[in-house]
Amino acid sequence: MDAFLPEQCYDVTHIVDTNVILVANGRHPGVTSACEAACRDWLTRIMEAGRIALDDGFALLGEYQHKADAQRGRGVGDAFVRWALRHRDDDARCDRIALAPHPVRGYAAFPEDPALADFDVADRMFVALARSHPERPDILQAADSKWLDWAPALARQGVRVRFLCEVDTQRFHQHKFGH
């Protein structure tokens, strides 16, 4: 993981994949304690000094709420969802980006790229959000190994994926896909 100090977080926007929240809450079987710590650290630092991007229809925020307990949960992921709910209308901490629907790709901003034709439908929102945001922020990814195969095609489309748990992600990928 790259060094990431809270003071470097100002004016840096991130897109947080839901699995980062799950891992931070200890709800992803098989990840290492180092992976859990990395996800907790990133979320904590974002809450302290960072920025996030959400869609203006708050579909992503709804997904976060579905996977975490923002009211009673005690995990760092739960705290992050509470923070996102509290700051969703704070322009200093959250960018709200309009995402136009598309009948085939899900979102108009999702690339029309044969290498991404099998991209997980549920994850297309993250890519569309990154491509629609003027800064093209990184997508923070914890341990979803399918993203390893998609990362090169996404990079060609101007979308950066920051793997917070590279060792775990590689191990899951090897186990799941055998390469």
Give CATH for domain 6-177.
3.40.50
* pLDDT over 80 at 10, yes or no: no
Residues 127-164: tens digit of each pLDDT: 999 999 999 999 999 988 899 999 999 999 999 999 99
Lowest mean pLDDT: which of 3-7, 66-70, 125-129, 164-168? Answer: 3-7
Q: Measuring CA to CA, which residue among 120, 93, 95, 89 is closest to residue 107? A: 120
Q: Measuring CA to CA, which residue among 99, 129, 145 is closest to residue 14? A: 129
Q: Which residues pair with 16 in a beta bridge?
A: 140
Alpha helices by DSSP H, listed for the chain, are 18-24, 33-49, 59-67, 76-87, 124-132, 146-156, 166-177
Single pTM value for the model? 0.91
Neighbours of 111 (CB within 10 A): 20
Residues 112-123: tens digit of each pLDDT: 999 999 999 999
C-alpha of 9 from chain center: 16
Quote the pLDDT of residue 11: 65
Quote the pLDDT of residue 2: 46
